[in-house]
């Protein structure tokens, strides 16, 4: 009987090991699923970051081009300013003032015409109302 007891003990220990291995297998399945979800999310995040990086790269290139053109324009304006003589600058200022004054006079004339037309319509309406009320 001692041999049977030893065999039963060994069988019991083997069953315990089998149960633990099965538990570890179940745990590994859960971890595998969680890891696969993590990898999938990580891939999506990587794609999103890649798109953002590409957008940032494009915006940076656009900004660099804009800054380059602004620098060229600033250099050109400074060179144009340096080429003007004081007489040319004064003539240009006078011309700009004349154009502005002319535009203001035209606007004033248009406003005056509109006010006169409104006054004429108002007077005609007043006479029409008086005529209707008296007859």
Question: pLDDT tens digit string along 3-55?
Answer: 788 888 888 888 898 888 888 888 888 889 999 999 999 999 999 999 999 99
Pair 34, 42: CB distance under 8 Å: no
**What torsion, rounded to 10 degrees, do the Cα atoms 64, 67, 68, 72 define?**
170
Residue scoring higher pLDDT (69 or 133): 69
Answering whether pTM is above 0.85, one says: no
What gap in Å lies between CA 76 and CA 63, rounded to an integer? 20
Q: Where are the beta strands (DSSP E) in the chain?
A: none
Strand, coil or helix: what is 135?
A: coil
Reply yes or no on whether the pLDDT at 1 is more than 70. no
């Amino acid at each position: 009987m001692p041999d049977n007891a030893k065999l039963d003990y060994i069988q019991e220990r083997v069953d315990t090991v089998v149960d633990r291995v099965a538990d570890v297998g179940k745990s590994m399945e859960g971890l595998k699923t969680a890891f696969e979800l993590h990898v999938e999310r990580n891939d999506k995040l990587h794609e999103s970051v890649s798109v953002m990086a590409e957008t940032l790269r494009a915006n940076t290139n656009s900004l660099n081009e804009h800054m380059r053109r602004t620098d060229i324009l600033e250099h050109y304006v400074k060179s144009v300013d340096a080429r003007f003589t004081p007489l040319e600058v004064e003539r240009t200022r006078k011309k700009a003032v004349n154009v502005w004054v002319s535009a203001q006079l035209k606007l004033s004339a248009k406003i005056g015409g509109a006010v006169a037309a409104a006054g004429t319509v108002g007077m005609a309406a007043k006479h029409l109302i008086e005529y209707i009320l008296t007859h």
